[in-house]
Amino acid sequence: MKDLTTGSEGRLIWNFTLPMLAGNVLQQSYNVVDSIIVGRAVGKSALAAVGASFPIIFLLISLIIGGTMGFSILVSQFFGAKDLVRVRRTIDTAYLFLFFASLLMTAAGLLFSESILRLLDTPAEILPQALTFLRITFGGLIFLFGYGSVSAILRGLGDSKTPLYVLVFSTVLNAGLAALFVIGLGWGIAGSAWATLLAQGVSFIGAAVYLNRTHPVLKFRLRGLEFDRAIFKKALAIGLPSGVQQMLAAGGMMVLTRLVNGFGADAMAGYTAAGRVDTFAVMPAMSLSAAISTFVGQNIGAGRLERVRNGLRAALLISGATSLLTTLAVVVFGWHLIALFTTDPAVIAVGARYLVIAGGFYIVFSSMFVVNGALRGAGDTFVPMLVTVLALWIIRVPVSTFLAGRIGLDGIWWGAPVAWCAGLAFSAGYFATGRWKRLAAVRPAPAPAPEPPPEEEEAEWNVSKF
């Protein structure tokens, strides 16, 4: 557990971000390793099938992501206020909610996968493989949600290292299983899905065993869990806007996927490969966003609002520097990065072009994400949801749709930078108003005023009344 309410803001945020960044990189390695093995060993149609499946998975787990974020923010604020009783109750409530929610999402995914794939105009040559991948993935959602909930709670308590240690082993296991199932046993895209499912199961079980042995407050148990309705309602109030935001993002991704599908399997395969590289490129911004959320939550809980602005400035400087380096890497080496996934020149050209256009604006994306993370840490999750609506549905989807009909795939790619610029302007403008300060779940009592000298007591009390 890490107390973020004292010490250098920039150093604390950077040190807290690094393990999360490494963990997120390892987590995304699941998708990248799977995509490289599938694209190289099975073919570009299988690579396109993986890409066509992702928006559907993202859509169905979005509300769970929001719920997890709500609980994580409450944990960070209660921990900052040193209220361990409510920390424990929040954790119990999160476990119960996420368990039953994951079962519902699994059932929904298994029932409606094919219908949604057809709605997205998925090319006929990749539809069977996409359906297979989806059904196996949904069968293991409980492991994904279990590990995700444990990680979110640990971050709320300031522990960003434990998830990293578990993921190191799990990522290596995923790579080995994917190679065995896809290449060795010839299971194709199904082998990739099974490898990911088993590796995520190991992550969850490993994290649960670790917590039971080392963290009394977080000890996972089947009996005696308390469901606190008040905490659940507060977590939903905080997390539901984020969940809706994620659903809106997933819905926008589905629209964009449909647009790309209209240009054929080569375009979808290139978009999938570029998306894997893109995910790594924006990972520092996403990790900093999670770090600043915890930092802001703890400092608001401790009543140290002056550290919030200092922390945000430090996070923006860090994200700016890392995003400039990332832009340089993807623009210069984009063609070679896409070639990791496939040898098809047409597919590589599509992916590399996307990276050139989107990569030039990573600094805008990272700044937007960091500001939104600060707002979420304060409990103000509604405004980031509005930013998503503005940036994605009011700007990116219409701009991409309009330009796609005039300049082709480049038009779809240009929609992202335009949307990011608008989103940053809106988020930064709102943060500057200071209205986010009103939504904290914890309002610590003000420190008592120092006692005046006996001879000046009456005068001091008279002044204090004003």
Instruction: Kindly report, residue by residue over 284-300, the tens digit of the pLDDT.
Output: 888 888 888 888 888 88
User: Are 308 and 389 contacting, i.e. CB atoms less than 8 angstroms apart?
Assistant: no
Gap between the terminal Cα atoms of the chain: 41
Cα–Cα distance, 192 to 313 (Å, whole number): 41
Q: Tell me the per-residue pLDDT of 6-21, one tens digit each, with 9 for 90 and over.
A: 778 788 888 888 877 8
Tens digit of pLDDT for each residue in 403-455?
999 999 999 999 999 999 999 999 999 888 877 776 555 554 444 444 444 44
Residue 5, pLDDT > 60, answer: yes
Amino acid identity at 410: D
Give the domain range for residue 363.
Answer: 9-439
440 contacts 300 by C-beta, under 8 angstroms:
yes
User: Tokens 């509604």 belong to which residue?
Assistant: 382
Flag whether 256 is in a domain. yes
Q: What is the mean pLDDT of the chain?
A: 81
Predicted model pTM: 0.69
Burial of 356 (0-12, 13-18, 19+ CB in 10 A): middle
Residue 178 falls within a domain, yes or no?
yes
Q: Identify the residue with better confidence: 44 or 333.
A: 333
Least confident of 70-84, 121-135, 279-293, 325-339: 70-84
Half-sphere exposure of 56 (CA within 13 A, CB side): 29
CA-closest candidate to residue 152, choices 204, 213, 225: 204
Residue 236, Cα to own-chain centre: how many angstroms? 17
Could you count the other beta carbons within 10 Å of the beta carbon of residue 163? 27
| Contact predicate 317/22, CB 8 Å | no
Give the count of domains, the chain.
1
How far is the C-alpha of 199 from the C-alpha of 178, rounded, in Å? 10
Does residue 205 belong to any structural domain of this protein? yes
Domain assignment present for 457: no
Q: How many CB atoms lie within 10 A of CB 191?
A: 25
Q: Is residue 448 part of a domain?
A: no
Residue 364: the pLDDT is: 94
Return the residue matching tokens 């954790």.
91
Nearest to 27 by CA among 171, 143, 149: 171
Please tell me the total number of residues recorded for the chain in this structure: 466
Asked whether residue 38 is assigned to any structural domain, the reply reads yes
Q: What are phi and psi of 129, to 5 degrees?
A: -70, -40
Cα separation, 51 vs 411, in Å, equals: 19
| Over residues 375-393, mean pLDDT | 82
Helices (DSSP H) in 157-220: which residue ranges? 162-178, 189-214
Domain presence at residue 199: yes
The residue behind tokens 């420190």 is 447
Rounded CA gap, 76 and 156, in Å? 4
**CA atoms 54, 56, 57, 62: torsion sign:** positive
Residue 183 has pLDDT above 70, yes or no: yes
Residue 166 covered by a domain: yes
**Residues 145 and 64 sit within 8 Å (Cβ to Cβ):** yes
